[in-house]
């Protein structure tokens, strides 16, 4: 909640008795009417709601930090209790905010009242305290079950059981399709025990959303983008239509090359790619299989993982590189408490939730990351991403609490990734990880590596919430949870399960963000925004070459404009923030197409050559 599990800031808060008293006093003093509170009452309500959200939010943040770093029954209960108090207060404040729906108010007050209702995202709870407690217990339990999940290979000792971190490495590096299949099936068992809890979670969360005037939880989530829910759905599909041709070309190329490796009996020449062969447990990013699909005859000019290992870079050093990029743009260094309180490596003596996340524990300066860092190129980029959250949090920390969030949740995810697009060979040479930047002869290989992560992610980033929105609305019923999941994965991703699946399975639960109840469309939007940000910043830097070769590292003028956008937080509708940095007011995926244009031409040439 207070942390950014992949990005959402949930802000919290002071004394309901104070708020209640203010409302009563306002009723007596407003225009002689007890039914029509006016501007002064609304403003006082907002101020006191901000204070309450800050107080309770910080309590939840600390409780959840402990629960994620020390997974025990006691810490889960403490976290559940703090979360329940926060959810109850937030829901009560949101419901009180509806008293002002028909009152003419200044834009600033009206916006904060609207955001107060949306502060219940991602988890509005029913007003009934028993239902709140049940909902909190379910969500805390599902997240803990995921965090403790293991796969114990048959015939091996209990000491050989693998957690998701170790399974991630296995999927990335192993090339035995049978072993990959077993690992995939083994991990997806973690979802089975969540199915009934998830069904009940949907019922309770929908009830909370309806109390706020929304049709269901999905409608509430989609209302978080300064447009009507249906309009947002159409906008997402418009963006997907822009990038789908690029993804289709990439998918066809990868399918053909995997067929050469594993045989067409394993990878059919047409249709879906088996999910376990794409180098990632969820087939959401494919960069780990680059060696299998690299352009024929090409030799990678460098491997970032190898460079980091050769220089004996440790976890702390990885984070220092990330911080250095932001400070090169003119941002202040991270506070000393960040280095003292963050979790950088997995402890040997206890279970922790290893999923990388950025935290703003006190909604001020106590920012942290929690991550079981491995010395890999992938984690090097992930660190830049997580630190993007932290620098964003610090930039807007002086705003009212209801504005201490990103312009929309896609912005929070895009900030670090936009910076990571500047992790180019020339940048690696500048910081000493490469002796010199390679020439353009490997550009296709470089872009293919990038596309295997960035472009391959797009349909997965879209479909997770497509599934949830249908579940929340009732279009997908509990009887078809798993079938609907795989229907969407086939439609958007073009991937298939490596084993027969049934409704005894609950494969969505094997993806952290489902039991963790973290909205996922933000990641899809972030993949659009990061390229739009990158293109705009490169233009501002005066760069005129190929977009994929641009790095803004060290450009303080660009950093100043970047920081100006971050400091706006959520005080204005997101098109205003977008315009501040880019000069544009509409999301536009054409920057992705521009970035990968040389690769698209090459992929099309490969398709013509094999047809």
| pLDDT at residue number 136 | 87
Asked whether residue 31 carries a pLDDT value surpassing 50, the answer given is no
- Give the least confident one: 25-29, 89-93, 212-216, 406-410: 25-29
Q: Answer left, alpha or beta for residue 300, where phi above 0 means left and psi between -120 and 50 means alpha.
A: beta
Cis-peptide, bond into residue 358, ω within 30° of zero = no
Asked whether residue 606 carries a pLDDT value surpassing 90, the answer given is yes
Asked whether residue 10 carries a pLDDT value surpassing 60, the answer given is no
Q: Which tokens go with 186?
A: 């083994």
Asked whether residue 12 carries a pLDDT value surpassing 60, the answer given is no
Q: What's the whole-number mean pLDDT along residues 527-556?
A: 95
> Residue 135 and residue 130: Cα distance in Å, rounded?
9
| pLDDT at residue number 501 | 97
Maximum distance among all Cα pairs of the chain, rounded to whole angstroms: 83
| pLDDT at residue number 438 | 80
- Residue of 203, 236, 249 lying closest to 607 (CA atoms): 249
One-character DSSP codes across 253-280: HHHHHHHHHH-TTTS-SSSPEEGGGSSS
Pairing of strands 357-360, 3-4: antiparallel
For the stretch 422-455, pLDDT in tens is: 988 888 999 999 988 887 777 899 899 999 999 9
Q: What's the whole-number mean pLDDT along residues 263-280?
A: 96
CB 9 within 8 A of CB 402: no
| pLDDT at residue number 92 | 87
| pLDDT at residue number 327 | 97
Q: Answer left, alpha or beta for residue 135, where phi above 0 means left and psi between -120 and 50 means alpha.
A: alpha
For the stretch 333-388, pLDDT in tens is: 999 999 999 999 998 888 888 888 999 999 899 999 999 999 998 899 889 989 99
For the stretch 193-211, pLDDT in tens is: 999 999 999 999 999 999 8
| pLDDT at residue number 2 | 37
Q: Which tokens go with 99?
A: 């008293």
| pLDDT at residue number 420 | 86
The H or E element containing residue 367 is strand 367-370
Return the bridge partners of 29, or none: none
| pLDDT at residue number 394 | 95
For the stretch 565-599, pLDDT in tens is: 999 999 999 999 999 999 999 999 999 999 999 99
- Residue of 450, 506, 425, 533 lying closest to 250 (CA atoms): 450
Instruction: Count other C-beta atoms under 10 Å from residue 127's C-beta.
Output: 14
Residue 292 CA, chain-centre distance (Å), reads 28
Pairing of strands 273-274, 3-4: unpaired
Asked whether residue 137 carries a pLDDT value surpassing 70, the answer given is yes
CB 271 within 8 A of CB 265: no
597 CB-contact burial (10 Å; exposed 0-12 / middle 13-18 / buried 19+): middle
> Residue 112 and residue 119: Cα distance in Å, rounded?
10
Determine what percent of the chain is predicted with pLDDT higher than 70. 93
One-character DSSP codes across 384-448: HHHHHHHHHHHHTTTS-GGG-S-SSHHHHHHHHHHHHTT--HHHHHHTTSSSS---GGGHHHHHH
> Residue 321 and residue 9: Cα distance in Å, rounded?
25
| pLDDT at residue number 369 | 94
| pLDDT at residue number 472 | 98
Asked whether residue 611 carries a pLDDT value surpassing 90, the answer given is no
For the stretch 149-176, pLDDT in tens is: 999 998 766 678 999 989 999 999 999 9
- Residue of 515, 492, 499 lying closest to 276 (CA atoms): 499
| pLDDT at residue number 22 | 31
Q: Which tokens go with 574?
A: 């997101």
Asked whether residue 24 carries a pLDDT value surpassing 70, the answer given is no
The H or E element containing residue 149 is none
Q: What's the whole-number mean pLDDT along residues 308-329?
A: 96
Q: Which tokens go with 230?
A: 């249906």
Pairing of strands 357-360, 367-370: antiparallel
CB 274 within 8 A of CB 495: yes
pTM: 0.84
> Residue 397 and residue 335: Cα distance in Å, rounded?
14
Active site residues per annotation: 355-356, 385-386, 389, 413, 513, 523
Determine what percent of the chain is predicted with pLDDT higher than 90. 72
> Residue 453 and residue 592: Cα distance in Å, rounded?
13
Q: Which tokens go with 340?
A: 């003292």
Instruction: Count other C-beta atoms under 10 Å from residue 218's C-beta.
Output: 25
Asked whether residue 527 carries a pLDDT value surpassing 60, the answer given is yes
| pLDDT at residue number 36 | 59
CB 115 within 8 A of CB 402: yes
| pLDDT at residue number 157 | 64
For the stretch 185-196, pLDDT in tens is: 999 999 999 999
* 287-316 burial code (b ≥16 CB/10 A, e <16): bbbbebbbbeeeebebebeebbeeeebebe
> Residue 143 and residue 413: Cα distance in Å, rounded?
21
> Residue 276 and residue 234: Cα distance in Å, rounded?
31
Which carries the bigger pLDDT value, residue 221 or residue 13? Answer: 221
Instruction: Count other C-beta atoms under 10 Å from residue 339's C-beta.
Output: 15
Look over the chain and give the mean of its residue pLDDT values, rounded to a whole number: 89
Asked whether residue 16 carries a pLDDT value surpassing 50, the answer given is no
């Amino acid at each position: 909640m207070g942390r950014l599990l992949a990005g959402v800031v949930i802000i919290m808060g002071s004394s309901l008795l104070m708020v209640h008293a203010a409302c009563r006093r306002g009723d007596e003093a407003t225009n002689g009417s007890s039914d029509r509170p006016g501007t002064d009452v609304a403003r006082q309500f907002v101020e006191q709601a901000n204070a309450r959200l800050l107080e309770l939010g910080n309590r939840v943040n600390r409780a959840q930090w402990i629960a994620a770093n020390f997974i025990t029954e006691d810490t889960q209960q403490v976290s559940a209790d703090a979360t329940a108090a926060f959810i109850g207060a937030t829901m009560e404040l949101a419901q009180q905010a509806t008293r002002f729906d028909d009152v003419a108010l200044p834009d600033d007050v009206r916006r904060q009242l609207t955001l107060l209702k949306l502060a219940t995202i991602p988890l509005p709870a029913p007003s009934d305290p028993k239902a709140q407690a049940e909902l909190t217990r379910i969500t805390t339990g599902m997240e803990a079950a995921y965090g403790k999940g293991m796969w114990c290979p048959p015939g091996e000792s209990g000491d050989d059981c693998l957690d998701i971190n170790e399974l991630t490495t296995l999927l990335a590096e192993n090339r035995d399709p049978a072993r990959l299949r077993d690992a995939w099936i083994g991990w997806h068992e973690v979802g089975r025990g969540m199915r009934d809890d998830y069904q009940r979670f949907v019922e309770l969360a929908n009830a909370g959303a309806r109390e706020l005037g929304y049709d269901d939880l999905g409608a509430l989530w989609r209302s978080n983008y300064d447009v009507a829910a249906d309009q947002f759905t159409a906008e997402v599909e418009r963006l997907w239509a822009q990038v789908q041709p690029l993804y289709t070309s990439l998918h066809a190329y990868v399918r053909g090359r995997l067929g050469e490796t594993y045989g067409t009996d394993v990878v059919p020449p047409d249709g879906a790619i088996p999910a376990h062969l794409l180098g990632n447990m969820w087939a959401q990013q494919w960069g780990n299989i680059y060696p299998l699909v690299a352009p024929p005859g090409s030799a990678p000019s460098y491997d970032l993982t190898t460079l980091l290992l050769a220089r004996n870079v440790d976890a702390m050093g990885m984070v220092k590189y990330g911080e250095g990029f932001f400070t090169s743009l003119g941002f202040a260094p991270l506070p000393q408490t960040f280095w003292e309180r963050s979790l950088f490596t997995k402890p040997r003596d206890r279970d922790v939730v290893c999923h990388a996340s950025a935290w703003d524990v006190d909604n001020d300066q106590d920012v942290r990351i929690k991550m079981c860092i491995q010395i890999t190129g992938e984690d090097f980029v992930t660190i830049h991403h997580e630190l993007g959250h932290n620098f964003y949090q610090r930039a807007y920390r002086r705003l009212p609490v209801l504005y201490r969030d990103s312009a929309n949740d896609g912005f929070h995810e895009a900030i670090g990734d936009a910076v990571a697009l500047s992790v180019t060979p020339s940048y690696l040479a500048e910081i000493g990880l490469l002796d010199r930047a390679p020439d353009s002869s490997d550009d296709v290989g470089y872009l293919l590596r990038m596309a295997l992560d960035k472009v391959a992610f797009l349909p997965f980033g879209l479909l997770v919430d497509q599934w949830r929105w249908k579940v929340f609305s009732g279009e997908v019923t509990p009887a078809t949870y798993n079938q609907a999941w795989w229907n969407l994965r086939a439609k958007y991703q073009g991937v298939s399960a490596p084993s027969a699946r049934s409704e005894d399975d609950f494969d969505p639960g094997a993806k952290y963000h489902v039991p963790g109840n973290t909205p996922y469309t933000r990641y899809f939007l972030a993949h659009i925004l990061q390229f739009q940000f990158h293109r705009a910043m490169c233009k501002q830097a005066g760069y005129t070459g190929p977009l994929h070769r641009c790095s803004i590292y060290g450009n303080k003028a660009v950093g100043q404009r970047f920081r100006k956008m971050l400091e706006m937080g959520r005080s204005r509708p997101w098109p205003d923030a977008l315009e501040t940095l880019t000069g544009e007011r509409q999301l536009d995926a054409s920057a992705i197409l521009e970035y990968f244009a040389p690769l698209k031409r090459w992929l099309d040439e490969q398709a013509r050559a094999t047809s």
